[in-house]
Amino acid sequence: MDYLVAVLLPQLLHGLVFGAALGLLALGLTVIFGLLGVMNFAHGELYMLGAYAGIAVVGLTHSFWVAMILAPLSVAALGAVTEIVTLRPIYRREPLYGLILTFGLALVFREGARQIWGGDMRRILPPVTGSTPLLGMTYPNYRLFLLGASSVLLLLIWVFFTRTRAGVLVRAAVQDAEMLDGLGVNVPRLFTLTFAGSAALAALAGLLLAPVFTVYPQMGVEMILLAFIVVILGGMGSMGGSVVAALVIGIAQSLFALWMNPQRVAIAIFGIMIVVLIVRPRGFFGREGVLE
């Protein structure tokens, strides 16, 4: 019983917090993939840029809350320009072009950040301080805020995709963009806005996790692998699947860390992915025809 309360439950909470934030990052990735058919290798760098943009905004305004609005917006603007200038010309080409292009963009963004902000690790102070006695330990209030904020954001995104016209249009475009084009919807603009929205989500995840994990140019590289696993596990292009998979990965990672070296945890996570793909080749909620 002691073990359950003192060890297992706190780990479960750590996993939930991390999984919810990972869900935000992975959701943007899966939407871009579902809609544009592009595995965006630069998504991790948009996550990183969100954190750096947050540092810049906090430096100017001394407000994390303002940064939560302005940082995602600035990264969304960068995402929109990137989509128009680089991705739009290659949509009709093979997926490999998108892979190579976004891989190149990731390098450009990462080294650009290093040139602008330097390679040193930076820290953003959490806007919510203090801690709360919980499950026999002192739990940081910011992590509880992170869990709450990520959950609310995921809920809002679900409402957007299911209850708003714009959201329905995006889902329709995921299903059949040509049909939507034929119905008179400005599909290129929809693509641009969706890419920008996904970039904003990644940026928001980067900013929210920055007070926990700190900020440095390679931070995106380290998260993107997990995000890819989440997207694959959840089912390529499935938004609900990504959220479920993010929570599964977050909790699994946290619990496995109790019993094994974290380097082996990474192997175990890959093991989960392999087992799921053997049993369900399209992931938890993957649809037929996507990447097939």
Partner 1 sequence: MKRITCAVVLATVAVLVWVATPAVSQPKVVRIGDLGSKVGVFEGYGKYQTMGIQMAVEELNAKGGVLGHRIEVISEDDETKPAPAVRKAEKLILQDDVKLLVGVVSSGATMAVMDVTKKHKTIHWNSVSCAEFMRTTKFHKYYFSNQPDSRMQANGLAKYIIDRMGKRVYIFYTDYAMGQSDGRQFKTALERLGGEVVGVAGAPLDTKDFSPWFGAINTANPEVLFLAFAGTDSLRLMTQLHSFGMTRKYRLAGIDCFLLQQDLASIAEPMEGFVQLNHFSAYNPDTNMQAFNARFKKKFGVDANIAAGAYDAVHFWAAAVEKAKSFDPDRVALAHEGMCLDNTHIGRQCIRKEDHQVVMDMHLYQVKGGKNLPIARIAGTDSIGEPMVGKDPVEGFSWELKKKN
Cβ proximity to partner 1, 11 vs 86, nearer residue:
11
Q: Which residues contact 63 (CB under 8 A, 6 or more apart)?
A: 57
Burial (Cβ within 10 Å: 0-12, 13-18, ≥19) of residue 243: buried
Cβ proximity to partner 1, 138 vs 162, nearer residue:
138
Cβ proximity to partner 1, 265 vs 273, nearer residue:
265
Cβ proximity to partner 1, 120 vs 288, nearer residue:
120
Asked if residue 283 lies in contact with residue 241, where contact means CB atoms within 8 angstroms, the answer is: yes
Asked if residue 216 lies in contact with residue 121, where contact means CB atoms within 8 angstroms, the answer is: yes
Closest contact distance (angstroms) between CB of 45 and partner 1 is 15
Closest contact distance (angstroms) between CB of 218 and partner 1 is 7
Asked if residue 154 lies in contact with residue 247, where contact means CB atoms within 8 angstroms, the answer is: no
Instruction: Look at the alpha carbons of 264, 46, 71, 216 in this order and tell me if their dihedral is positive or negative.
Output: positive
Other beta carbons within 10 angstroms of residue 65's beta carbon come to: 11
Closest contact distance (angstroms) between CB of 266 and partner 1 is 9
Q: How far is 258 from 163, CA to CA, in rounded Å? A: 41
Closest contact distance (angstroms) between CB of 225 and partner 1 is 12
Closest contact distance (angstroms) between CB of 129 and partner 1 is 8
Chain residues binding partner 1 by CB under 8 A are 6-7, 10-11, 14, 18, 114, 119-123, 126, 131, 137-140, 142-143, 211-214, 216-218, 222, 254, 257-258, 261-263
Cβ proximity to partner 1, 147 vs 157, nearer residue:
147
